Amino acid sequence: MPKYEGIPETLTLKAARQFVEPRVSEKRFAHIEGVAKFAKKIAEASGVDPFLAELSGWLHDACKQVKDKELISMADQFGMQLHPVDRQQARLIHGPVAAYLCREELGLTNQDVLDAIAEHTLGNVPMSELSKVTFLADCLEESRPDSYRQPVLDALDLGGSVNLNKAMLVALDLGLQMLIADKNVIHPRTVECRNYFLNLARSKN
């Protein structure tokens, strides 16, 4: 394995898997494994480092099953800045909290991987290619409903042009539609992120 900045030699893909497995249910673990595999696949098709993509996939949901109260107390302990919506919908911060946890517990300081873990739920402006790959792999893992998965997969066009930005826009639009249908609170960062990818798409026309 080549050397990567900010990734201790002990942090292999196997070590990441072993870190996550005891923290989540069997069902969640299957999702995580699916995301790690899919992230590698998208990375290989889009010129992103497949090891970093798979590593981000393995670690992205490390805190998915931490209870809301605990997520808030971990965030406060880590000194994270929280938006009021983060406190109201604490599950939205399972990514950023996982990034801090990986830094503390695994010695992971590679900023690209930390950002990819942190941004996988709400997105960000801008996003690195690695972060987009992780976000999309999370959307495309096989247990996701087909009505969500297929349009994102079509926009991504893995066997053809491979368009991460177009797939991001489709994924964000569908995600927002689902939040509205479920009468859920929308985090302003997701709206900013969606507008960012919309403007990118418009500037290409």
CA angle 103/25/124 to nearest 5° reads 45
Q: Which is nearer to Fe ion, 61 or 115 (CB)?
A: 61
Could you tell me the two tokens for 116?
Answer: 């990819």
Question: CA angle, corner 103, sides to 112 and 124, nearest 5?
Answer: 40
C-alpha 102/C-alpha 20 separation (Å) is 10
Amino acid at 195: N
**Minimum distance from CB of 190 to Fe ion (Å)?**
13
The answer to whether the CB of 42 falls within 8 A of the CB of 137 is yes
Q: How far is the CB of 60 from Fe ion (least distance, A)?
A: 6
Applying CB under 5 A, which residues contact Fe ion? 61, 138
Tokens coding 62: 């490390």
**Residue 11 or 36 with smaller CB distance to Fe ion:** 36
- Contact (Cβ atoms closer than 8 angstroms) between residue 182 and residue 147: no
* CB 164 to Fe ion: min, Å: 18
- Nearer to Fe ion by Cβ, of 99 and 169: the residue is 99
Smallest distance, Fe ion to C-beta of residue 138, A: 4
Q: Which is nearer to Fe ion, 93 or 108 (CB)?
A: 93
Give the angle 84-166-48 at the CA atoms, nearest 5°.
90
**62 in Cβ contact with 98 (< 8 Å):** yes
> Whose Cβ is closer to Fe ion: residue 61's or residue 112's?
61
Distance CA 119, CA 197 (A): 15
In the complex, what is the shortest distance from the CB of residue 203 to Fe ion, in angstroms, rounded to a whole number? 30
Q: How far is the CB of 57 from Fe ion (least distance, A)?
A: 9
* Nearer to Fe ion among residue 61 and residue 86 (C-beta): 61
Residues 94/161, Cβ–Cβ less than 8 Å: no
